[in-house]
Chain A
Amino acid sequence: MPNLNRTPLHDLHCELDARMVPFAGYELPVQYYDGVLWEHLHTRASAGLFDVSHMGQVRVSADSLEEAQLALEALVPVSVLGIPEGRQRYGLFTGDAGGILDDLMIANRGDDLLLVVNAATREQDIAHLSANLAGCSVTPITDRALLALQGPASETALAALVPGVAEMRFMDTSVLDWNGTELWVSRSGYTGEDGYEVSIPSSKARSLAEALLASEAVIPTGLGARDSLRLEAGLCLYGSDIDTTTTPVEAALEWAIQKARRRGGERAGGFPGASRILEELESGAPRRRVGVLPDGRAPIRAGARIFREGSDDPVGEVTSGGFGPSLGRPVSMGYVETGLSGTGTALEAEVRGKRMSVTVADMPFRPPTFKR
């Protein structure tokens, strides 16, 4: 495909008969031979291997780690100083109006911070970091691939190659050796399953992918399954469920803002949009991201408007939706007026001009299986 970037695993995807699609400027596999449904179910039952090399890896360092941590706190409402060495934490870049510029992972590697950001927002994130992190070096990592191994068999499959991963707990991050190759491993992912994300030099990525796929437990999985897995896990897709027009409180991501950054905390505020976000943390926001379960069998996808039963004034909108293979039913998430965000609230969504009954539901739709 013209003008699209390729990941270090491109040739392997093609040899595995992947159906390649354009995604965030990259040519990536949406599915392989067995299809999205099977890839999804196999990941939950065993393990799936995802190529997530399109995501941005960025190293942030300063004269001292603490200096880098404090500098980053000026851009995120996260207690970066509170991330212990060898751990990572979910974070958000916020804008001056309180919206979300991107979501990311922040790992404390002892000497530096490693950030993983979304592909579509990578360039703007790097520019944002470079312009605003006084005294820090911001180094985009361009010579490493990123693989995600997800599902209950992940530990056994990866530990057969890299024994040290078995000792890691959810959200641990570690530098480990694989036959002389330095791996940056975290026990994390985007599926609600136990699993790992592994950063590896691009030249070795194929060997590692092939070694993992040689395990009977592991199959290659594409973007299609990645999306249905994260939807069942209630995880946000940047650009769909969260963006510059949604605040962390509206998005029900309060848990990503630690006490230290809230009113009365040791380092309260001091991030873009703090006045609005801190206020909303205490008083709430007018709308809220919730799970939306269609009562019928038809999937209700992004863009469907939500109404009170029998009313013509929209009270919200679906931002992600589809079929949840592990639940055997359609699942959606979206925003509704906060007064209607209680679990069990009966509402309607409009699909192809018809009203469908839906019920507000807790997320995740399926409990996570993280190894804590």
Chain B
Amino acid sequence: MKYTEDHEWLRVDGDLVVIGITEHAAEQLGDVVFVELPESGTQVSSGDDIVVIESVKAASDIAAPVDGEVVEVNDALADTPGLVNADPLGSAWFVKMKVDDPSQLDGFMSEDEYNEMIA
């Protein structure tokens, strides 16, 4: 698992990258009540807002950490947005992306580095 400074995690799954947010981020957001996901097939650049998370308190954007194509989105979050709080590292993944340049993944933090950042 790799981590971004924006509290996203990335897990390599074959030639795809699965993207979600960390437990720390989910806890900071509070109870999530709505998740808006992009369309499959959307081509995105690193930094583009691809997901909107609405908690009881506020709306937050999640940016694409890498360039590539969104090939699958987690439709379960539409019906059960609370998964983001219940299981942020597992069943509450947001999107799977086909990454244009796999070397982009090298720049992200390890789990230890991420834990140090939020400590």
Contact = CB atoms under 8 A, between A and B. Distances in A.
A297 B34 CA distance: 7
A322 B56 contact: yes
A323 B30 contact: no
B33 A299 contact: yes
Interface string A321-333: 0110100001000
Contacts of B33: 37, 299, 323, 330
A323 B58 CA distance: 10
A36 interface: yes
Contact of B59 (A40, A299, A325): A299
B52 A323 contact: no
Interface in B60-94: 78, 85
28 contacts: A30-B57, A36-B30, A36-B31, A37-B30, A37-B31, A37-B56, A38-B31, A40-B56, A224-B30, A224-B56, A224-B57, A297-B34, A297-B78, A298-B34, A298-B36, A298-B52, A298-B54, A299-B34, A299-B54, A301-B58, A301-B59, A322-B56, A322-B57, A323-B34, A323-B54, A323-B56, A325-B56, A352-B52
Given A36-B30, A298-B52, 19 more contacts: A31-B30, A35-B85, A36-B56, A37-B30, A37-B31, A40-B56, A224-B30, A224-B56, A224-B57, A228-B56, A297-B34, A297-B78, A298-B34, A298-B36, A299-B34, A299-B54, A322-B56, A323-B34, A330-B33
Closest 3 CB pairs of A and B: A37-B31, A323-B33, A36-B56
Interface string A32-61: 000111101000000000000000000000
In this complex, the interface size class of chain A, counting residues with CB under 8 Å from chain B, is: 10 to 19
A325 B30 CA distance: 13
A325 to B, nearest CB: 7
B105 to A, nearest CB: 29
Contacts of A298: 34, 36, 52, 54
In this complex, the interface size class of chain B, counting residues with CB under 8 Å from chain A, is: 10 to 19
Nearest to A21: B57
A302 to B, nearest CB: 11
A322 B57 CA distance: 8
Q: Which of A38, A40, A299, A330 has the most CB of B within 10 A?
A: A299
A297 B36 CA distance: 10
B90 to A, nearest CB: 20
Nearest to A323: B33
A36 B57 CA distance: 8
Contacts of B30: 31, 35-37, 224
A330 B34 contact: yes
A35 B78 contact: no
Nearest to B85: A35
Contacts of B34: 297-299, 323, 330
Interface in A168-210: none
Contacts of B52: 298, 352
Interface string B20-61: 000000000011011010000000000000001010111100
A31 B31 CA distance: 11
A330 B36 CA distance: 14
A368 B57 CA distance: 23
A35 B31 contact: yes
Contacts of A35: 30-31, 56, 85
Interface string A203-243: 00000000000000000000010001000000000000000
Contacts of B56: 35-37, 40, 224, 228, 322-323, 325
A301 B52 CA distance: 14
Contacts of A37: 30-31, 33, 56
Contacts of B36: 298
A352 B34 CA distance: 14
Q: Which of A323, A325, A330 has the most CB of B within 10 A?
A: A323
Interface in A301-355: 301, 322-323, 325, 330, 352
A30 B31 CA distance: 13
